[in-house]
Structure 1
């Protein structure tokens, strides 16, 4: 069983039900199944064979979903690429994927042209007649049916690249059973039904959109609704337009929605459930204001979602949930032994069924082995658990600031600074110190119309943070640099470091 089989089944049973809505285009299950069959035949006729990888350089569009399902029918693998990549970065990801064929939106053709001929065949979504490229329309024109490849559960369905916001991007090889089993667990834990409309404002090359929006919708025979990108101004209008009942959030998106000026019609929307991470301390106020229940979960592309809070159950503030079958999750110390409740260590995962997390990091055997040491998958994320088995996220291991011999959680600093009423969003990170190790720097975006002095922000921090966590450097800026999934890209901020406009508390103290 693969994802396109589910679409075919729904096409027979509810052909006219909307399957996919992206911006202004809608496909019913009948239309989607028909396009998938045609494109599968077109790809096969163009020489794409089972086991081959086809890269996508596409925005959120119906062609992305059609091509992913069509490749599954012929046993090939989809490799969606971060559309923000250019030059050497794009070339490196294409080489990593092993793709020689790609489906590319016309707006990204200049970037493809700069990759030096890695690709032998490029199908273009958009204008036709471009020299050396073929039109997407060629694929949709086929009326025949390609022989269906009998996929095994462990055969790869899609390569999802980690965001690379704190380190080198890796290609997660995700099997067909990962796609379906994650969708089964997700819909079961969150109580989703065929009448739901699952809305996602994040890119299809990310797990939230592909694995936890499209796949669950197609499992249930529900509707997946997506837009080009997250927009704080358009979000609720989009929820209303698509009649969305479920949406996801990540990074700063929930905060940005909450910090908009309240309006009388905030609760006038069809959404009943929002899921994601992190869930802030003002979640209950958000729920009252917008008339929606929020639940926090924990997962990553590599393993899918493994910790859940269930809707309707009492909330444990700060918890990202408990492990669910088919996953065993523990907090391990540096020596590999499980830590007692209350102690912070690394989140480590062991699957209890085959093919429900990634198969490998493509082309990185040493990295794969290192992640799987001691027969546990090591996430690099930190947490502690309580006596009842609830987990509490404590930050990324790669997002720890080393200051004066202490490990400091950037997340804790960001949580406190983010509570300031003038702050819209914040990023905390370490910068090199003349005393070795690091000093703490925060970069802050203020809410529109608000003003705040660095000295006043530091005084606010001194009243609420342990002394080692109080930032040395403060810089106010416009919107923070983001990955396409709205996570702050701290690599950009760290490379920039402290500049002339940065407030330096130590320098201030030393001034006469």
Structure 2
């Protein structure tokens, strides 16, 4: 079974049921989603070949959903692009995937204009939120790329002409790659994770099983579709289960409970910070006036569960694989535990030599699925990293955990040097790469610093070039122009040198242990709504 076939089937069974509701915006029924995807696929058939990579640089919108299912029908590979990306990050992703075509929201065209010369394989942009007149105006800012209005190719009969002839519909198989989801790098750049049709559906089935989806459920995902949670465990899961999903681009504490009550939400997607933020509000009589029974991807918090009457479902999963451990409803509360091993996975904890560690000891998490199509085939264009991750017939996660005598696992730390900030994964390597491109920066180290909301804040320690002046404010202004907002550091400090091993590797564990320097700069807490310095 493939993703697009599932939508076709559901559109015949429950045509008028809402599939996706955009909070404050449009609604797509199952039939409407199928019709739009089929129409768009037919109009794209002349230019999009099977297995071709196509970028989606779009906010949560009906166009994103239509494009995803249309590309699935064509056997093309969807490349969701974080809408915060610009400069190096955007250029890197487009070059890594060699996208020849991308769907872009009009409000993001300036980002594409900035990288146009660096992505020669990209030939055309299909622009949403713009008519022919708008597109003609925007076209003047581009040197080479062709711009086409989305409305001109999404209609019943597209009048846009392309070189070549329309191809017959390809045969799409369950083992074909459906999309590429990027996950942050550690000692290297971000890695593209190929997700096959089968793997996408398995991810959907996992959340359906763990959250015990039932008839009439309405899911709420205040997360962007360029992340796998909202796309695969959200929209695709709703197609598989025949349920409705309500989407917002980002979480808003002021809008959350209004949305929950308005749409009759029963299941919520979240990141760890969301329950903490909701809990900060003063208790009130309306705390339990809702129908939510569980929040998926949340840490156990008995006070939250008692106050709001909502079960927090914790688990351990990866984009590359699936949910290998999770807390069952019948499990007794275990503070800090991410649950027991899933029925579909094998898990080992090992030391640096690959030997199993004992109960109560910390080791690296190794995974192996019991069934096919539960794990990625390998990282895109990174054979060496793939070989390093798949060793001794196990997938090495780079995460550290321990297990107790009753089989409950406890996540301890990241062996790899990644940072997670308000639901966004940040590669320290990529932060450092951008920083050292500044002419006044000799070297830099990016490390995590504990956040009051859980997860991490981003701290950078910078060494200036000899005899060169550089202020923290100047460095922030440089970062704002070149980094997604979530990647701009909160804490900045300068040193004359970085602590290093005899072989020259920066000892980041010492920086973390030392904590913030007295003269550090603090930009304040970052939130997804924040823009600029």
TM-score strictly above 0.5: yes
Aligned to 1:458: none
**Inter-partner Cα distance in structure 2 for 1:438 and 1:158:** 34
Contact 1:184 1:219 in 2 (8 A): yes
Distance verdict in 2 for CA 1:100–1:344, change over 3 Å: same
Question: Would you say 1:83 and 2:83 are equivalent positions?
Answer: yes
Q: CA deviation at 1:260?
A: 2.2
Judge which range, 221-230 or 253-262, deviates more. 253-262
1:133 aligns to what SS in structure 2? strand
Aligned to 2:376: 358
Aligned to 1:266: 287
Judge which range, 216-225 or 2-11, deviates more. 2-11
2:296 aligns to what SS in structure 1? strand
Paired residues for 1:359-374 under 5 Å? 359-374=377-392
Aligned to 2:44: 43
Distance verdict in 2 for CA 1:430–1:312, change over 3 Å: farther
Question: Would you say 1:238 and 2:259 are equivalent positions?
Answer: yes
**Inter-partner Cα distance in structure 1 for 2:454 and 2:324:** 30
Distance verdict in 2 for CA 1:33–1:331, change over 3 Å: same
**Inter-partner Cα distance in structure 1 for 2:104 and 2:10:** 29
Aligned to 2:204: 183
Contact 1:303 1:358 in 2 (8 A): yes
Contact 1:41 1:146 in 2 (8 A): no
**Inter-partner Cα distance in structure 2 for 1:149 and 1:252:** 43
Question: Would you say 1:124 and 2:169 are equivalent positions?
Answer: no
Q: Deviations over 1:269-311 (max 9, x none)?
A: 221110114x15xx11111222211110111211122211123
Aligned to 2:325: 307
Q: Deviations over 1:234-274 (max 9, x none)?
A: 22222222221111221422212212232321221221110
**Inter-partner Cα distance in structure 2 for 1:395 and 1:246:** 28
**Inter-partner Cα distance in structure 2 for 1:430 and 1:476:** 10
Contact 2:399 2:415 in 1 (8 A): yes
Residue of 124, 136, 141 corresponding to 2:155: 141
Residue of 461, 475, 480 corresponding to 2:525: 480
Distance verdict in 2 for CA 1:316–1:18, change over 3 Å: same
Aligned to 1:28: 29
**Inter-partner Cα distance in structure 2 for 1:53 and 1:210:** 17
Aligned to 1:344: 362
Unpaired runs of 5+ residues, structure 2, are 140-145, 159-165, 420-446, 462-494, 501-506
Paired residues for 1:399-418 under 5 Å? 399=417, 414=450, 418=452
Contact 2:208 2:237 in 1 (8 A): yes
Q: How many residues align structurally?
A: 442
1:20 aligns to what SS in structure 2? strand
**Inter-partner Cα distance in structure 2 for 1:70 and 1:439:** 47
Residue of 390, 393, 401 corresponding to 1:375: 393
Indicate the RMSD between aligned Cα atoms, in angstroms: 3.0
Q: Deviations over 1:385-408 (max 9, x none)?
A: 11222211112113599xxxxxxx
Q: CA deviation at 1:148?
A: 4.2
Q: Deviations over 1:311-362 (max 9, x none)?
A: 3432222111122232212212111122111111111111222222112211
Aligned to 1:502: none
Contact 2:186 2:418 in 1 (8 A): no
**Inter-partner Cα distance in structure 1 for 2:78 and 2:455:** 34
**Inter-partner Cα distance in structure 2 for 1:166 and 1:258:** 36
Residue of 199, 202, 206 corresponding to 2:223: 202
Question: Would you say 1:296 and 2:314 are equivalent positions?
Answer: yes
**Inter-partner Cα distance in structure 1 for 2:259 and 2:349:** 39
Distance verdict in 2 for CA 1:396–1:156, change over 3 Å: same
Distance verdict in 2 for CA 1:245–1:163, change over 3 Å: farther
**Inter-partner Cα distance in structure 1 for 2:37 and 2:62:** 11
**Inter-partner Cα distance in structure 1 for 2:412 and 2:129:** 44
Paired residues for 1:105-120 under 5 Å? 105-117=105-117, 118=119, 119-120=122-123
Distance verdict in 2 for CA 1:143–1:13, change over 3 Å: farther
**Inter-partner Cα distance in structure 2 for 1:165 and 1:285:** 35
Aligned to 1:393: 411
Contact 2:350 2:364 in 1 (8 A): yes
Contact 1:190 1:310 in 2 (8 A): no
**Inter-partner Cα distance in structure 2 for 1:225 and 1:185:** 19
